Amino acid sequence: MDFTTRCIHGAANNTHTTGAVSVPIYQSATFAHPGIGQSSGYDYSRLQNPTREHLEKIIANLEEGVDAIAFSTGMAAITALMELFSIGDHIIASEDLYGGTVRLFDNINKKNGLLFDYLDTSDLSKLRGLIRKETKAIYIETPTNPMMQVTDIQAVAALAKEYNLLVIVDNTFLTPYFQRPLTLGADIVIHSGTKYLSGHNDTLAGFLVTGRTDLSEKLRYIYKTTGACLSPFDSWLLIRGIKTLAIRMERQEENAKKVAAFLNSHEKVKKVYFIGLETHPGYEISKKQASGFGSMISIEVDTEATAKQVLERVNLILFAESLGGTETLMTYPMVQTHADVPIEDRLARGINDRLLRMSVGLENTEDLIEDLKQALS
């Protein structure tokens, strides 16, 4: 079945008999038992809810995994994931991660005894050099947020297999429409469902997806114990959003290519980070492991004053955090998404006061370019 069709019909709807085309919202915290020792299959919504279960089956199907677990936020998903590890365990992570992930690792997980090293995970020789007996996992974003570094998932998975390490991939930027890390050897995939999967900037969600039954069992136990489950209504919003995932991703990528080309030719834009540009160092790897480039663009402008001017002058484009929705958003990473990353680390990674990040939406491309032209003038 084609991916587009699976977005709409990817999980058989066996949760009701009314014939409703839209999956019902089972807004119930608890479910009655038919008798002692008997269950309808649903007992308490922290464990499972019919609406959420339907969503999880769709996501597992799209990522080609055996299980997907829906959380209240992307950070809740990553927080639960870290409970797989014990005091003294070592994790190697991409150096250019979403700032909230770095904040969790450095301020919560380190306090609880986990050890982290950060590096450009596209450099396999350096990655191998950091592996030690305490190492348990390699955690990557590809492309990264906000510098758009690309890591060869298949190569990292082959390296990890030598040392019996987990490979964890945050696939938020490309979604399973463009990239399916489990098929490339990853063990666990992460999504901020708030972003492209939802697609409408109207709800928060997170997912962990795995192709391994042993990991599914461990994660399900952590999930029911820690309790950050996605609500029935938010699950329904995600189901609705995913129905248009394929067509949104195609249009947003098409828009992003045109916007990136315009920005790449503007005198005040000194660098464009978009993996769809042939000059991007990760372009060939992206073509190998993904079927598209997505719609995330970061740019470095000539001065801090220009960066602030753009943020204050854009009209159609919204100066707001988040990404992946129908509206085009622009973010200032150094004071928003990465504000809690130490300044020396931010600057070393290129996250300076001239860097802007764009999530290109579904608007008419010429309208977006006109807005950027006047904001940069």
Catalytic residues: 46, 98, 170, 195
Instruction: Pick left, alpha or beta for residue 148 (phi over 0 → left; psi -120 to 50 → alpha; otherwise beta).
Output: left
Which 8-state DSSP code applies to residue 137? E
Determine the Cα–Cα distance for residues 287 and 257; give it in Å rounded to an integer: 15
- C-alpha atoms less than 13 angstroms from C-alpha of 375 in its C-beta half-sphere: 24
**Rounded to whole angstroms, what are the CA distances from 177 to 158, 239, 243, 256, 314?**
23, 15, 12, 16, 30
- How many other C-beta atoms can be found within 10 angstroms of the C-beta atom of residue 23? 21
CB 46 within 8 A of CB 224: yes
Tokens (6 digits) for 59:
């996501």
Tokens (6 digits) for 25:
């919202």
What angle do the packed helices 213-226 and 74-81 form, to 10 degrees?
A: 110
Which residues, 6+ apart, have CB-to-CB distance to 13 below 8 Å? 23, 54
Determine the Cα–Cα distance for residues 259 and 323; give it in Å rounded to an integer: 16
Pairing type for strands 166-170 and 135-141 reads parallel
SS3 label, residue 342? coil
**Rounded to whole angstroms, what are the CA distances from 98 to 19, 93, 104, 324?**
42, 11, 10, 14
Indicate the burial class of 15 (C-beta count within 10 angstroms; 0-12, 13-18, 19 or more). Answer: middle
The residue with tokens 């209504």 is 233
